[in-house]
Structure 1
Amino acid sequence: MEALRRHVAEGVPSLNVPIDVRGTAFQLRVWNFLKSIPPGAPVPYRHVAEAVGRPAAIRAAANACAANTIALVIPCHRVIRGDGGLGGYRWGLERKRALLEREATKACRQDGDLPYESRPSSRRRR
């Protein structure tokens, strides 16, 4: 519980707790990759598909993100559309936007600049 509290309250970037996740082999590969995306550096669905060895499976990668039910552990909000748009999010686009903006602000404080995909000019609001 302490790890969860720190993750939510203090923005500790990764939540390493034992979990019993069930899904297809492809979903598990996608979810495992999502845990490696650093806060403040969102990637497009295309990048996720390529990272798990299925570059043509962009829609399947998006569906795997949508099937994720434990966003605190598997940060599917860090995946965006190729054009910089938010895409979808099980818990609503406003929450996804807020999470990405919070992480981008922290990344900016640490690095002095926002990742390209996080910059407001590259993201269309829908």
Structure 2
Amino acid sequence: MTQLLLSETLPSPVGAITILTDAAGVLRALEFEDYHDRMERLLRLHYPGGWRVDPASAPSDAMRAMTAYFAGDLAAIEALPTATGGTAFQRAVWAALRDVRAGRTVAYGDIAAAIGRPGAMRAVGMANGANPIAIVVPCHRIIGRSGMLTGYAGGLARKQWLLTHERAMLA
């Protein structure tokens, strides 16, 4: 079955962001516009029955929450409903990521332990990289065990900006 997704574009301090919600307003994807190819690849994985994207007729709750997040209200995105495809393992990783509060960082091993799979750090990394909902499912909050920033689908400069933004808003 084809999934209808409603599209909005949010200008942000880290570049334009595409927000895709369903007809019920549930956030389905959020990606930086210059990573459109990545979003298309993830949509093919999450919606094998196909999807159609139409422009949203009014600002969604996700658009309002993301606008508030960039304005400094970090909690605005915490309660946004999300839905994705993915495996049960991936969804467990993404749920654990949502428990990492703004301004904090965790290592891949911390997420692996949180989902009861302490030896699955690499698998957590793969699931993290397949996250279709940037920022709201805060994959930018995962760092290497050494404390160094590690890969981020939106680029390390954006990851650093997001972490700095969150820490500054909490200070």
Shared fold by TM > 0.5? yes
CA separation of 1:14 and 1:42: change in aligned 2, threshold 3 A? farther
Which residue pairs with 1:11 in the alignment? 73
Identify which of structures 1 and 2 has the higher relative contact order when contacts are C-alpha pairs closer than 8 Å and 6+ apart.
1
Helix, strand or coil: the match of 2:148? coil
Which has the larger helix fraction? 1
Gaps of 5+ in 2: 1-59
Matched residues in 1 for 2:169 and 2:71: separation? 14
Q: Paired residue for 2:100?
A: 37
| SS of residue in 2 equivalent to 1:98 | helix
Corresponding residue number in structure 2 for 1:75: 138
Which structure features the higher share of strand residues?
2
Range 80-89 or range 96-105, more displaced: 96-105
| TM-score normalised over the length of structure 1 | 0.79
Task: Give % identity.
Answer: 41
Question: Are the counterparts in 2 of residues 7 and 14 from structure 1 also a CA contact under 8 Å?
Answer: yes
1:24 and 2:87 matched: yes
Correspondence 1:1-126 to 2 at 5 A? 1=60, 2-15=64-77, 16-107=79-170, 109=171
Gap regions ≥5 residues in structure 1: 110-126
Residue type matched to 2:131 in 1? N
Contact 1:77/1:100 (8 A) holds in 2? yes
TM-score (norm 2): 0.59
Q: Deviations over 1:10-47 (max 9, x none)?
A: 33235122222111111100100101101111001110
Partners of 1:62 and 1:85 lie apart in 2 by: 15
> Which amino acid counterpart does residue 7 of structure 1 have in structure 2?
Y
SS at match of 1:62: helix
TM-aligned CA deviation for residue 64 of structure 1 = 0.8
Distance in structure 2 (CA, Å) of the matches to 1:102 and 1:7: 10
Residue of structure 2 equivalent to 1:116: none
Q: Distance in 1 between matches of 2:111 and 2:81?
A: 23
